[in-house]
Structure 1
Amino acid sequence: MPASAETSTDAVLSEPLFMGVALLLNTPRDGRPAVVTCGIVPLSLASRDTAPFGLGIPPMGGPIGRIRNLALKGITEKVIFGPVQKYANAVARDATGQPFPGFFMDWPRRADILVQFGVPEFEYPRSDLPDTVHFVGPVSQGGSRDNSDVSLPEWWADLDTGRPVIHVTQGTIANRDYNDLIRPTIDGLANDDVLVVVSTGGRPEDTLTGPLPANVRVSSYLPYDELLPKTSVLVTNGGYGGVQFALRHGVPLVVAGQSEEKTEVCARVAWSGTGINLRTNRAKPDDVAKAVRRVLADPSYRQHAQRIGTAIAESRGVDALVDLVEKLEPGKD
């Protein structure tokens, strides 16, 4: 029995990878709470205009592109994930008496509302997009933010010496091995006239072992609202929130991530013209350095980042989510 059956519930909010809430959709709307999907990863809905989610393949226009997408969809759903779909159907039948509502990776299209925490400018166009989808901007938009507990490091004034600032981070999840991206960035740019600013994503600074070149500065956490306006290029493994936060400030990117949602985020960085996708989980120093130099030399990357940043600045984020939930028609809780 779902928890919503034991207490008065008007709406259930879920991120798209929690598929248990999808089973509520086997009940007619007047017999359940509204289901609101909160898109905290790139939009995963299947479309005739896009390749299946997770492959990191950018759109291809025209009839050939749609044929490609249809073929990939069949292979993905029937072959690669066929056994998973059978399992999902068995679980759903056991819980609700009905099979899983559609392909298990595409269930958010059946939600009453899909609130996508992004902007259309950073998402592949879909001519068959359901009208239940609402782009509201990143989670960092709206609500309240307080960076007062993040103190500035003693080297902060070095950011204003005129050298390009290259910020590198592996985020707070996939940051156990700095050799994936942080160390290659440090080594690749050791002799460049840039300032490499490293965030260890909450880990102690001394976990970054080995010699550090003179142009490197390290901190466990950094106040991004103050750092990104000073940043020339962000080098990152492609977390959805961090990438959009950089774009909010018009910062172009070099991305290297192929885990979690990062494959799709990195593909969108390249597709949108906001940066370079190295298409790897473990970057090489020379590749990072060449990509950074290219982004610094080509103003179009920053121009595209600023274009998307303007769209993000005009979005409302979580405040728009609140409005959408409050407008829902009540069902039977």
Structure 2
Amino acid sequence: MTDFKPTILIVDDMQVNLTILSEILKNKYHIKIAKSGKKALEIVENSNIDLVLLDIVMPELDGYEVCKILKNSEKSKDIPVIFVTANSDACDEEKGFLMGAVDYITKPFNPTTILARVKAHINLHLKQIELEKYILMIEKISITDGLTNVYNRRHFNDIFPKIINSAKRNDELICFLLIDIDHFKQYNDNYGHQMGDEVLIKFADCLKSSLKRVDDMCFRLGGEEFGIIYKSEDKQKALEFANILKNSIENLKIEHKYNSSSKYVTASLGLICRHARDIKNIDEIYKQTDDLLYEAKKSGRNIVGVEKI
């Protein structure tokens, strides 16, 4: 956005210094001011600050202590801090850099120097933010199915062992559900692949909306096969969830003339529940669940295949 202005927090216990620095910077930046370290920390906690100009010598909390607190906070650790001081001693500068400061500005103020250094560090900070956003976007793309926007097989292979290891600490019941759209090849052959893609998207949205907990996860594992990893209090409740999900899919009422079990799109499911402590092999769990899915298809489809409870 062309009208975007970064925000600078100026921290100094002397009003004259706040006024001078504000006058120098106000045409290019949004300015916030604080007359104490405590007030500065409050502002940073409740605002989006792009750079801090920080006086060193202040009562109660001095600039070094404020900088240390900022750098130890997840919210503010990446905000560039420039110390403002009347002391140009090399030892003081070294201490500031060790605390995490990016630069020093000495008093009396030189407007040209202040503008140049602030601009340089603001630009570096904003570029770093954009880089981090780009990295997050690439990471998300790498673990997400491009069509349905649920997690992909790659992420399933990576995250399932981690979920199990985490669940072992509390001896939680892990449930793995395989879901396969019934007669999907016939759907594609007769309605066309574009319509088939629309079914996959609606199907995935239905699965995602059914998840009850933050750590429940849905995956597209290949073609029309999806998987859900979720935790449950007991196996009976896990089966109830699977049956509710099965009914929700049919209740989408997507017409499917070539489905032998319904006039709508349906799915067959395989369900395995295990205490995390009992899970030794991911491939074995997958195969057992796939076998139950196969049994559900063999038994007429639109069924949850499950071990005896």
Q: TM-score, structure 2 length as denominator?
A: 0.22
Larger strand share, 1 or 2: 2
Greater relative CO (CA pairs within 8 A, separation 6+): 1
Higher-Rg member (1/2): 2
More helix by share: 2
